[in-house]
Structure 1
Amino acid sequence: MTQRLNNLVQIDVPESDHEIDMTPMLDIVFIMLIFFIVSTSFVRESGVEINRPEAQTAQTKESAGVMVAITANDEVWIDQKLTDQRMVRPTIERMRAEQPDLGVMIQADQQANTGVLITVLDQVKLAGVEQVAVASKSVQR
C-alpha cells in the first residue's frame, strides 16, 4: 500500500501549465485606455481669476469650448494666454478652423470696461462663431 501512495504522489505536471497568460488582461486594459481617451472631453480654462457679475436670470451651462476672460485691468485672455484685443478675431478664426462647431464663453470681470467686452464680443462674432455666451454668477434666492 505504501508503494501505491508513492506512485500517486509522484505525478508529473508539465511546467508550462503553471504560467499565467497575461495577454487577455492586457487586451482589456488597452481597450479601456482607448475608450477613456476617446470619450474624454477636456475643459478649457480662461487662465485668470474673474469676479463675474451677478444676474437673476443666470443659467448653468457646460463649457462652451473656448474660454475668453476679460480682467478688471481690461486684459483679454484666451485659453490661458494673454492676447491683444486686435488679435481676438484671428485667434478665434484659427481655433474655428480646427473645430468648426466651436462655441465661446466670455467671462468679463465685474470691474471690466463694457467697451472692451463689446469689442471682444464683436470680434468673436466676426470670426464666425454662432454660439457665444457671457458668463455671470446666479443670485442666491
Structure 2
Amino acid sequence: MKKKHGSESEDASIDMTPMLDIVFIMLIFFIVTTSFVKEKGLIVNRPDDQQQTNKPSKNVSIRIDENGFIYMNNRQIDIKRVEANVQTFLAENNTDSAVVQAAEKTKHGVVVEVLNQITRAGVPKLSVVVKN
C-alpha cells in the first residue's frame, strides 16, 4: 500500500515567533501609554536633629546702667559699636535671640537705639528686662 500523505511521519509543531512578537508589541504599548501620576500630599516640617537642639545656645546679653553706659559680656562698649559687636558675637555663636537688661532710670532713647542696632545686626528675637 502506498501512503497518500507523506506528512504523517513528521511531528506537528506550532511556530511561536508571531505570538511572541504580539506579546512584545502589547508590552511596549502598555509601557508607552501608562501615565505616572505624582501623588499629592502634605508637606511636613520635621524638627531638626536632637543633637543640634541639645546644644545650649548663648544669647546676646547687653546691660545698660542708669548712666547710659552699655556693657556686653562684662565689657563696656560705645553705643555706636553695638551692631558691630553683636555681629561679631553672632559669627562666633549660633543664636537668634538677645536680652537687653536696662536699669529703671535708663533713658528710653538709649534702649531704643540699642534695640535698633541689635535688629540691624540680624537678631530677630529681642527681650527687654528692667532692673530695679
> What range describes the TM-score normalised by the shorter chain of this pair?
0.5 to 0.7
Q: TM-score, normalised by structure 2?
A: 0.53
Alignment length (residue pairs): 78
Name which of 123, 127, 132 aligns with 2:117: 123
Structure of greater relative contact order (alpha carbons < 8 Å, 6+ residues apart) = 1
Q: What's the counterpart of residue 15 of structure 2?
A: none
Q: One-letter code of the match for 1:128?
A: G
Q: Look up the SS of the partner of 1:72 in the other structure.
A: coil
Determine the C-alpha separation between the residues in 2 that align with 1:136 and 1:109.
6
Q: Report how far residue 131 of structure 1 moved.
A: 1.6
Tell whether the 8 Å contact from 2:86 to 2:121 is kept in structure 1 after alignment. Answer: yes
Are 1:77 and 2:59 an aligned pair? no
How many angstroms apart in 1 are the aligned matches of 2:91 and 2:121? 10
Instruction: Report the counterpart of residue 94 of structure 2 in structure 1.
Output: 100
Aligned to 2:106: 112
Question: Paired residue for 1:47?
Answer: none
TM-score normalised by L of structure 1: 0.50
CA contact (8 A) 2:104 2:130 kept: no
Indicate the SS of the match to 2:95. Answer: coil
Q: CA deviation at 1:41?
A: 5.0
The residue number in structure 1 matching 2:85 is 91
* Larger-Rg structure: 2
Q: How much has 1:135 moved relative to structure 2? A: 1.1
User: How far has the Cα of 1:71 moved from its partner?
Assistant: 0.4
5+ long unaligned stretches in structure 1 = 1-38, 43-63
What is the letter of the counterpart of residue 87 of structure 2?
Answer: E
Which residue type is aligned with residue 87 of structure 1?
Answer: R
Work out the CA distance in 2 between the residues paired with 1:78 and 1:127.
Answer: 14
RMSD (Å), alpha carbons: 2.1
**What secondary structure sits across from 2:99 in the alignment?**
strand
Q: How many percent of aligned residue pairs carry the same amino acid? A: 24
Deviation at 1:130, TM superposition (A): 0.8
Matches of 1:74 and 1:125, distance apart in 2: 19
